[in-house]
């Protein structure tokens, strides 16, 4: 299975990067040490994953909260603006959002986390709204008529039915976050982009390749995991053969 | 069992339901008919408070519907809608079990009830594990009815439940509904714009026009003594006679006399069915089956037009 | 008191007022590297403008109580636009006033109150346009008018005191060059992506069995972070004798990134052409070419152009990252600024990039043919 193969490659490369030292040394003999040494790749991965996970979790929580409010009868007034902000906001290049976070928050992990969270919020909230609004009105009417409370309808009917769409938004958000966190190393965050940037700046190609391969595999595996989740969810909302 | 007293609903300055009062006896099948915009769906939704009451009162049993929290009220009432609205992410069994689960029934009790209801609506037990999207429209709406009956409510509200189905399925389900009504003896309020279906199924009919109740009574009453020209036109105008034949029963016209040859008809059959048989058999006299061992009689063509 | 008809507008106006009353409108720093001390609206020079700003903000709050009607929305848009321009103008005047009494190295920057109030006002404009159900042409016109007004203010020299303007001043020709280079990067990637991607999309639409593999490969490329892709291309390109840095690898990478959206939207556009319509056309005796021109193209074009919009916006953003490998473009200022801890240099790169993306988005939204219109 593609996922297993990719995950295996990812794990091997990350954990055993030093073992590839001789390979890099042979191809680029004048770069020493051949393996990026400021931090080990598992450490870089952990730092990168931490920022992405925290930012995505915060973004998802905020997006769920605001998206649910915007689709309730009492919050409907804010729905058009929220939708417009989500659409227009996604036009902003992620690197610009990161760049703007710096004057306000300084350098390091914090602006990266905030930029990731802010930018990641947008595709998720757009999908929360789309997913919730996609629940057929007949289903909602039947649920209300049967005596389910608003909270029960949200929890047992609307959210499960909207789940695949919401997850697609989270998937987009996480993949973009992994990419933007890579650039975050330019503002001082410790991520898998650090060897890449250091390599580009110092003209040390092996570091660039090492960092690039690990982060590329990270992104690919993450995307594949979401794909699996998506298929699983769709099966359980009765969309495919049950 | 259900009483509507001077019920009023207005929105945007307009009276959608205008001073409607009627009373449905327990166990009766009440059809709420009228053309589009007559206010019949709104009246139905006033009963389970999906739409708030502007004026008047509605009582179920002796309980004012406004005195209960809306969710508690709705869990005591079965509700079937035209667009069916089965939960796509739940199996048939889970759909049917919705209200019993809300009320905290035990799993065993729920399982037994689901099996019982599937039998009632004429579906195999294997349907319990299927998902709604695997079923036809007719099957889905049958599940919708089963779902409404699951918690054994005292009252069933139905809003044009067969409107989205093809004519053949519609007729079949209407017949099944009549059977279910006879077996379960529930009070049913059934909204439809189809006067023929109402005449066929209902014990009592409420005709609405532009928000007002124009006539309330048994099908025969409405056909024989229409309260206004509108009712006369609405109930069929030119085909009134045929509708009367459809509503009147053979038992009303039976002659006690020696039966003639041929397959006897049921006394509960309509005069329309008897007429149809007469045409097919090319005779002006049909034997009628006796009831409870009593000897039967016959029905004659000339009696049909009395 | 009657309930507000527009809770959104009320909230936005209140947020703007709170920000203007509570935080720094303009900052003043002795040089470009240090953060400035904030000055609130009435402490900053600007005279009568402060009062007018607050009045307009209150007027917007009052506007929340108007009944929803097109002409009311128009009034709100006008009031909010005026407020936005006034905020900018006041900032410019305050900055200029500071500059008059301060050494040349001193910098006047925009404070939190300015940003919050401007953002709220901009959102109010967007909200009002939505409530009026303005069509894309009208929204574009409003945006264009605002942009023109802001450019007029800048051209008139009224914004010169601001640190951002100062940074631009120092780098005028470099800015123009990088802006041009940025556009060249975008155009140079989108066109090849169209040339390669459209046939791929058509292929996927005609042969559904191939689409799984094709889109899987393209999706993998899309998932890889941009910096990583730039980095991974260096070695192969070097082997081909091309430089690993500069515009060449950037264009290769940007083209690759654009392939998936182009192919996917081409396929979606073709599939959007109703199969019943195609069947009817074939039944009427149209050739494949005629069917393509008269049925598939008009029906599929809106979907395709919507996809093109996404591609262009995405590429503008990614091109900013390409500055890391020496491809030039507006990203140069962003990363230079980050490296030098010079905030206004960062903004000099970030703000035009955002503006470019928004402009492209707007322009393409305008050009999206609506279904039912004749080509």
pLDDT for A241 equals 37
pLDDT for B190 equals 95
pLDDT for A237 equals 67
Selection from C339, C330, C338, C334 nearest residue C359 by Cα:
C330
Strands C107-110 and C26-29: antiparallel
Residue C228 to residue A212, Cβ atoms within 8 A: yes
Strands B77-81 and B155-159: parallel
Q: Which sequence spans correspond to the domains of chain B?
A: 2-239, 248-304
Task: Indicate whether C298 belongs to any domain.
Answer: yes
How many Cα atoms sit within 13 Å of C52 on the Cβ side? 15
Specify the residue for token string 């000897």: B295
Q: What is the assigned CATH class of domain A2-236?
A: mainly alpha
Domain end, chosen from C163, C193, C220, is at C163
C26 and C108: one domain? yes
Give the list of residues 6+ apart from residue B139 with CB closer than 8 angstroms, or none: B123, B127
**Both tokens of residue A77?**
């007034």
Cβ-based contacts of C224 with chain A (< 8 Å): 179, 215-216, 219-220
Cβ neighbours around C121 below 10 Å, total = 25
Cα–Cα distance for residue pair B161/B165, rounded to 1 Å? 9
Cβ neighbours around B228 below 10 Å, total = 12
Give the list of residues 6+ apart from residue C35 with CB closer than 8 angstroms, or none: C27, C29, C343
Give the list of residues 6+ apart from residue A121 with CB closer than 8 angstroms, or none: A59, A62, A63, A173
pLDDT for C370 equals 58
In three-state secondary structure terms, C285 is: coil
Which CATH architecture group holds B2-239?
A: 3-Layer(aba) Sandwich (3.40)
Cα–Cα distance for residue pair C277/C288, rounded to 1 Å? 13
pLDDT for C215 equals 86
Q: Which sequence spans correspond to the domains of chain A?
A: 2-236
Residue B306 or residue C320, greater confidence: C320
Asked if the interface predicted TM-score (ipTM) of this complex is over 0.90, the answer is no
* Cα distances (angstroms) measured from residue B167 to each of B162, B164, B197, B211: 9, 9, 11, 28
pLDDT for C274 equals 63
Residue C225 to residue A213, Cβ atoms within 8 A: no
Selection from A60, A115, A62 nearest residue A93 by Cα:
A115
Per-residue pLDDT of chain C (375 residues; tens, 9 = 90+): 667 778 888 889 999 888 888 888 888 877 766 777 777 877 776 678 888 888 888 888 888 888 888 888 888 899 999 999 988 888 888 888 877 777 777 778 788 888 888 999 999 998 888 888 888 788 888 888 998 998 888 888 777 777 777 778 788 888 999 999 999 999 999 999 999 998 888 888 888 888 888 888 888 888 999 889 988 888 888 778 777 678 888 999 999 999 988 998 888 887 777 677 777 777 777 777 877 777 777 777 888 888 888 899 999 999 999 998 888 899 999 998 888 877 788 888 988 999 899 888 888 887 776 544 333
User: Largest alpha-carbon pair distance within chain B?
Assistant: 66
- Of all helices (H) and strands (E), which one includes residue C289? helix C288-291
Nearest chain A Cα distance for residue C293, angstroms? 32
DSSP 8-state code for residue A154? I
Selection from A166, A158, A221 nearest residue A12 by Cα:
A221
Residue A93 to residue C354, Cβ atoms within 8 A: yes
C213 and C338: one domain? yes
Residue A216 to residue C225, Cβ atoms within 8 A: yes
Residue A197 to residue C227, Cβ atoms within 8 A: yes
* Mean pLDDT score, B142-153: 93
Terminal alpha carbon distance of chain A: 22
Cα–Cα distance for residue pair B200/A25, rounded to 1 Å? 91
The closest CB to that of A102, out of C313, C346, C354, belongs to C346
Assign a CATH topology to domain B248-304: CBS domain Like (3.90.1280)
C228 and C313: one domain? yes
Domain count, chain C: 2
Q: Indicate whether A204 pLDDT > 50.
A: yes
- Which range (A99-108, A189-198, B17-26, C255-264) has the least confidence? A99-108
Chains C and B touch (3+ CB pairs under 8 A): no
Q: Are B131 and B88 spatial neighbours (Cβ–Cβ below 8 Å)?
A: yes
Q: What is the percent of chain B where pLDDT is above 90? A: 50
Residue C26 or residue A207, greater confidence: A207
Task: Indicate whether C209 belongs to any domain.
Answer: yes
Task: Indicate whether C148 belongs to any domain.
Answer: yes
Angle between helices A159-183 and A94-105 (to 10 degrees): 70
Average pLDDT of chain A to the nearest whole number? 88
Cα–Cα distance for residue pair B81/B150, rounded to 1 Å? 16
Strands B155-159 and B187-192: parallel
C186 and C149: one domain? no
Residue A155 or residue C24, greater confidence: A155
Selection from A81, A84, A87, A111 nearest residue A97 by Cα:
A111
Specify the residue for token string 């931090």: A39
* Cα distances (angstroms) measured from residue C205 to each of A93, A240, C211, C271: 30, 22, 8, 7
Q: Indicate whether A242 pLDDT > 60.
A: no
* Mean pLDDT score, B204-219: 92
pLDDT tens-digit readout, B253-300: 888 887 777 888 888 888 888 889 889 989 888 888 877 766 778 888
Domain end, chosen from C137, C163, C189, is at C163
Q: Which domain holds residue C125?
A: 7-163
pLDDT for C373 equals 39
Left if phi > 0, otherwise alpha if psi is -120 to 50, otherwise beta: which for B159?
A: beta
pLDDT for C372 equals 43
Residues 191-220 of A with CB under 8 A from C: 193, 196-197, 199-200, 205, 208-209, 211-213, 215-216, 219-220
- Of all helices (H) and strands (E), which one includes residue C146? helix C136-155
**Both tokens of residue A81?**
């603006």
User: Largest alpha-carbon pair distance within chain A?
Assistant: 75
C156 and C176: one domain? no
| Residues making up chain B, counted from first to last | 306
Residues 191-250 of C with CB under 8 A from A: 216, 219-220, 223-229, 231-232, 234-235, 244-245
The values of phi and psi at residue B192, to 5°, are -155, 155
Beta-bridged to residue B55, according to DSSP, are B8
């Amino acid at each position: 299975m593609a996922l297993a193969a990719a995950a295996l490659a990812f794990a091997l490369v990350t954990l055993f990067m030093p073992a590839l030292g001789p390979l890099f040394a042979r191809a680029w003999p004048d770069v020493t040490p051949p393996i990026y040494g400021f931090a080990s790749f598992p450490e870089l991965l952990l730092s990168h994953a931490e920022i992405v996970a925290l930012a995505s979790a915060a973004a998802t929580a905020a997006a769920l909260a605001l998206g649910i409010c915007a689709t309730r009868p009492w919050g409907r007034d804010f729905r058009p603006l929220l939708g417009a902000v989500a659409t227009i906001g996604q036009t902003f290049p992620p690197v610009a959002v990161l760049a703007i976070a710096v004057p306000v928050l300084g350098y390091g992990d914090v602006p990266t986390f905030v930029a990731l969270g802010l930018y990641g919020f947008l595709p998720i909230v757009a999908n929360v709204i789309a997913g919730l609004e996609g629940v057929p009105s007949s289903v909602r009417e039947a649920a209300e008529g049967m005596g389910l409370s608003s909270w029960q309808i949200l929890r047992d009917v609307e959210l499960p039915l909207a789940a695949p769409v919401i997850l697609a938004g989270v998937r987009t958000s996480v993949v973009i976050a992994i990419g933007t966190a890579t650039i975050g190393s330019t503002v001082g965050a410790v991520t898998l982009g650090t060897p890449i940037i250091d390599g580009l700046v110092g003209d040390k190609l092996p570091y660039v390749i090492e960092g690039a391969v690990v982060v590329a595999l990270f992104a690919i595996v993450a995307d594949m995991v979401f794909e699996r989740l998506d298929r699983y969810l769709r099966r359980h909302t009765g969309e495919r053969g049950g | 069992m259900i009483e509507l007293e001077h019920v009023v609903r207005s929105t945007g300055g307009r009276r959608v339901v205008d001073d409607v009062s009627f009373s449905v006896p327990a166990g009766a099948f009440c059809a709420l008919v009228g053309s589009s915009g007559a206010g019949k769906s709104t009246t139905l939704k006033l009963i389970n408070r999906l739409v708030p009451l502007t004026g008047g009162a509605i009582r179920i049993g002796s309980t004012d519907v406004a005195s209960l929290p809306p969710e508690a009220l709705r869990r005591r009432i079965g509700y079937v809608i035209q667009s069916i609205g089965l939960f796509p992410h739940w199996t048939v069994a889970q759909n049917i079990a919705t209200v019993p689960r809300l009320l905290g029934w035990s799993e065993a009790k729920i399982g037994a009830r689901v099996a019982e209801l599937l039998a009632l609506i004429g579906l195999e037990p294997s349907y319990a594990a299927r998902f709604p999207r695997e079923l036809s429209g007719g099957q889905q709406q049958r599940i919708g009815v089963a779902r409404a009956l699951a918690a054994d409510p005292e009252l069933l509200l139905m809003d044009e439940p067969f409107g989205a189905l093809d004519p053949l399925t519609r007729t079949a389900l209407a017949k099944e509904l009549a059977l279910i009504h006879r077996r379960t003896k529930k009070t049913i309020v059934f909204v439809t714009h189809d006067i023929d279906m109402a005449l066929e199924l209902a014990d009592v009919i409420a005709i609405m026009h532009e928000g007002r109740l124009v006539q309330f009574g048994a099908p025969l009453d409405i056909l024989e003594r229409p309260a206004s020209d509108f009712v006369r036109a609405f109930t069929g105008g030119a085909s009134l006679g045929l509708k009367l034949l459809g509503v009147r029963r053979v038992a009303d016209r039976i002659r006690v006399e020696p039966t003639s040859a041929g397959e006897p008809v049921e006394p509960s059959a309509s005069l329309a069915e008897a007429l149809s048989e007469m045409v097919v058999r090319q005779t002006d006299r049909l034997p009628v089956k006796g009831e409870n061992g009593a000897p039967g009689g016959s029905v004659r063509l000339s009696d049909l037009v009395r | 008191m009657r309930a507000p008809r527009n809770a959104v507008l009320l909230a936005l106006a209140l947020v703007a007022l709170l920000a203007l009353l509570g935080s720094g409108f303009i900052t003043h720093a002795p040089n470009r590297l240090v953060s400035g001390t904030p000055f609130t609206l009435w402490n900053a020079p600007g005279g009568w403008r402060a009062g007018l700003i607050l009045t307009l903000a209150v007027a917007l709050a009052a506007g929340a109580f108007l009944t929803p009607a097109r002409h009311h929305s128009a009034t709100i848009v006008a009031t909010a636009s005026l407020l936005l321009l006034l905020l900018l103008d006041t900032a410019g005047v305050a900055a200029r006033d500071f500059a008059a009494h301060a050494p040349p190295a001193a910098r006047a920057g925009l404070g939190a109150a300015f940003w919050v109030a401007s953002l709220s006002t901009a959102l109010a404009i967007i909200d009002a346009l939505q409530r009026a159900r303005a069509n894309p042409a009208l929204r574009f016109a409003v945006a264009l008018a605002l942009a023109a007004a802001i450019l007029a203010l800048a051209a008139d020299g009224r914004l010169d005191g601001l640190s951002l303007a100062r940074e631009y001043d120092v780098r005028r020709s470099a800015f123009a060059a990088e802006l041009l280079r940025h556009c060249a990067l975008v155009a140079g990637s989108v066109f090849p992506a169209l040339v390669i991607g459209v046939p791929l999309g058509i292929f996927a639409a005609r042969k559904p069995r191939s689409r799984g593999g094709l889109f899987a490969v393209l999706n993998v490329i899309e998932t890889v972070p941009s910096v990583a892709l730039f980095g991974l291309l260096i070695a192969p390109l070097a082997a081909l004798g091309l430089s690993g840095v500069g515009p060449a690898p950037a264009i290769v990478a940007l083209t690759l990134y654009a392939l998936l959206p182009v192919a996917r939207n081409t396929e979606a556009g073709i599939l959007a052409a109703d199969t019943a319509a195609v069947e009817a056309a074939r039944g009427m005796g149209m050739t494949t070419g005629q069917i393509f021109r008269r049925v598939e193209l008009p029906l599929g074009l809106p979907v395709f152009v919507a996809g093109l919009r996404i591609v262009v916006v995405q590429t503008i953003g990614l091109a900013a990252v390409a500055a890391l490998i020496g491809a030039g473009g507006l990203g140069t200022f962003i990363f230079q600024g980050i490296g030098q801890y010079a905030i206004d240099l960062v903004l000099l790169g970030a703000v035009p990039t955002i503006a470019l993306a928004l402009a492209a988005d707007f322009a393409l939204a305008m050009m999206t043919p609506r279904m039912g219109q004749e080509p």
